[in-house]
Amino acid sequence: MDNFIDYAFEAWPGFVVRTGLLKCSAMGYERAPSFCVSQESKDSHLVIYVMYGGLYIEQDRKRFSAVSGQCVLLTLRKAHRYYTDQEHPAHILWVLFEGELLDGLMMKYAESGDLPYVFSSDTVVENICQCFEIFRRCGPSHQESLSPVLYRMVLGILKDKMFCCQYQPITIEETLKQEINRYIDAHISRKITLDELAACANMSKFHFSR
């Protein structure tokens, strides 16, 4: 961490930034026994990596916590507060971004109650460190270099969240039920016999009844 200063710095977008880019509006490294950031709303989003210690996040009357090695994704368009304390001092890296490319997705997750999102990802940590390296090497005017990294990072986080659900495999019995229901729906206007339903399920009437 010798290349990073130990207080927040800001890198505001230059004139080359176009609507189609994700803009890195600020990034920073904070290290303090305790700190608190509280805002009503801001037209941007935030990724935080907790390097050491613990961090608390409050939004939508919910309280979350992230510990060393974890990351947090949240939208700042809703009132929010994140802080640490003397018992759990934190070292954090954070990247503030904005842009129409991901606004819709971010707000969709926020409205569904899925943000803030606390997670662990080596890839995201690498992306965050890459943003700092680009800033150190190129300066704040090189938004074209930062934008693809931000886009891959945030889209990767949301992709993982979209597909993190555990899906139950569909059984043969469930498949048969679906086929029979479709047959009944298609012929609901007339009398349907047991022989027809058994044939639909490719079974004898005895096995189908059982």
Is residue 157 predicted with pLDDT exceeding 90? no
Q: Write down the pLDDT at residue 196.
A: 86
Is residue 166 predicted with pLDDT exceeding 70? no
Is residue 1 predicted with pLDDT exceeding 50? no
Q: Which of 2, 8, 37 is nearest to 25 (CA)?
A: 8
Q: Write down the pLDDT at residue 171.
A: 59
Q: Write down the pLDDT at residue 70.
A: 92
Q: Which of 91, 49, 54 is nearest to 73 (CA)?
A: 49
Tokens (6 digits) for 33: 């026994």
Identify the three-state secondary structure at position 115: coil
Alpha-carbon gap, residue 197 to 202, rounded angstroms: 9
Beta strands in 5-144 (DSSP E): 23-32, 36-39, 45-52, 54-59, 62-67, 71-75, 80-83, 90-98, 117-119
